Structure 1
Amino acid sequence: MNGLRVAAIASLTPLEELDREPFLVDTRGQQAMCARWAADRGHTVTRQLLVYGLRPDHRGLWTDVDEGHVDLFVVPNERVLARAMASVTGFLAECRRRGIPLETAGLDEPVYDAAMKADVHRRLSMPTAGYDGC
């Protein structure tokens, strides 16, 4: 199963949860874990999905699969999958129905110290200067 095209799934989590769940807030870290997992197996990430509570049948999950651009999904771990999908069991069933494997990278999450949390906060914070609410 070398050379497969991978869709990496990361979960969107509110920045307010940074102190309690830093990895779930760090979408860049989640995507990096998936990319490392794929590269270690000779696969290529062709799609990066950033989702929260998405329905398992949502068209956005399956368009690239249906068009032949994605051969499998990978998530960093089960916690990310639980945040990303409205129904994990529904998503697993849809993957089985469509014949698309779902893999879990299962690599160690980074240890977030104060500096790393500050970097995640900086990257994910919305600038407020000049923001008029539109």
Structure 2
Amino acid sequence: MGEVRGASGGSDAVRVTAIASLTPLEELDDDPFLVDSRSQHAMCARWAAERGYVVARELMVCGLRPDHVVLWDGVRPGVDLFVAPSRRVLESALSSVEEFTAEALRRGVRVETVGRAEPLYDAQMKAQVHRRLSMPTAGYDGR
């Protein structure tokens, strides 16, 4: 399914759940941005910070059902919103973007996309992503 990381934020702040695609490392050459969840989350964090919002959760998911509890646990209407770097990230992360946006609308929660250009990956950037994802237990932190 995926991973959830939380962060605390003020009770008055708009809380953002950043959605990234959990895409296998084997797809790095074909679609590096979908594999690079760290860059996806960073793009969402910049978007949120520019608006004075707080990233409360980061999700990494693949083909998740729109009604799955991990999406909606603790989400409050009018206070929380979901953001993903792009529609195609949402299409990879969720089993149905249309059903998800309909469910969000029903629950009074906005769904946004950052809408910026994805980074262009050269061989060095792909190698960094590969090292970070292939050696997580060896103490490598991706820098």
Shift of 1:3: 3.6
Counterpart of 1:99 (choices 108, 126, 134) is: 108
> Secondary structure in 2 aligned to 1:60?
helix
Residues 1-134 of structure 1: matches in 2 within 5 Å?
3-66=13-76, 71-126=80-135
Instruction: Supply the AA of the counterpart residue of 2:58.
Output: Q
Shift of 1:128: 9.3
1:47-91 CA-partner distances (Å, limit 9, x unpaired): 0011000000000000020599x6100000011000000011110
* Cα distance change of structure 1 residues 31 and 66 upon mapping to structure 2, 3 Å threshold: same
* Cα distance change of structure 1 residues 16 and 38 upon mapping to structure 2, 3 Å threshold: same
Q: Does the aligned pair in 1 maintain the 2:63–2:94 contact within 8 Å?
A: yes
Query: What is the aligned-residue identity percentage?
Result: 66
- Distance of 2:94 and 2:70 partners within structure 1: 12
Larger Cα-atom Rg? 1
Instruction: Supply the AA of the counterpart residue of 2:119.
Output: P
Instruction: Supply the AA of the counterpart residue of 1:32.
Output: A
- Distance of 1:54 and 1:64 partners within structure 2: 17
- Distance of 2:137 and 2:55 partners within structure 1: 33
Q: Which runs of 4+ in 1 moved over 3 A?
A: 126-129
> Secondary structure in 2 aligned to 1:20?
coil
In structure 2, the gaps of 5 or more residues are 1-11, 139-143
- The alignment covers a number of residue pairs equal to 127
- Distance of 2:34 and 2:119 partners within structure 1: 11
Shift of 1:111: 1.1
- Distance of 1:57 and 1:43 partners within structure 2: 24
- Distance of 1:52 and 1:37 partners within structure 2: 22
